Amino acid sequence: MELNRALLEQVVERRKIFKFRNSQLTSEKPHYHIVIHNDKEKKSYIFACSTTKYEKRKRYIELEGLPETTLVWIKPSENNGLTENSYIDCNSVFVISDDEFYQKYSEGELTLEGELEEGYFFQICAGIADSPRISNEIRELAKIIIENG
């Protein structure tokens, strides 16, 4: 059953994990993306993207002098749908328009994989809030998410 646009927008909520190819990444391979925020006003979604390349991300964070809290480990579970240890580099987030997201859905280019456990989600939000590489607007949003639980 195909969801219409309004129903899809209801499914795209915080902590949901989708797998899709992201045109903002250099890799052609689909990645797991965690919904940080569904911005209904701006008609866009904010995602954090996972990687399995821990050493590469750790080295980058160390070389750039970024806070250690900006690299978050996520253990795979049946609930979250991840298949191996994954890491979120909170120094980059991706804003994707609802048009682009719906197009990916319509073309069968994305799948809903699971839901991230709350503890990991708040660690990611804290990492985003700690990152000097993230816009002030998104950092403040991450702080509000943490405060409101």
pLDDT tens-place string over residues 2-46: 567 777 778 899 999 999 998 888 788 999 999 999 998 999 999
Q: What angle do CA 124, 128, 131 make, to 5 degrees?
A: 135
- For the segment(s) 5-148, the CATH number from 1.25.40.80, 3.40.50.720, 2.30.30.110, 1.10.10.10 is 2.30.30.110
Could you tell me whether strands 16-20 and 94-97 are parallel, antiparallel, or unpaired per DSSP bridges? unpaired
Nearest to 57 by CA among 47, 48, 68, 41: 68
pLDDT computed for residue 3 by the predictor: 64
What is the mean pLDDT of the segment spanning 115-132?
98
Span 62-83, mean pLDDT? 97
Which amino acid is residue 121, in one-letter code?
F
Q: What are the DSSP E strand ranges found in 42-109?
A: 44-51, 71-74, 86-89, 94-97
Is 79 in contact with 34 (CB distance < 8 Å)?
A: no
In the chain, pLDDT over 70 holds for what percent of residues? 98
pLDDT of residue 6: 77
Q: How many helices (H) and strands (E) does the chain have?
A: 5, 7
Average pLDDT over residues 65-90: 97
Q: State the pLDDT at residue 2.
A: 59
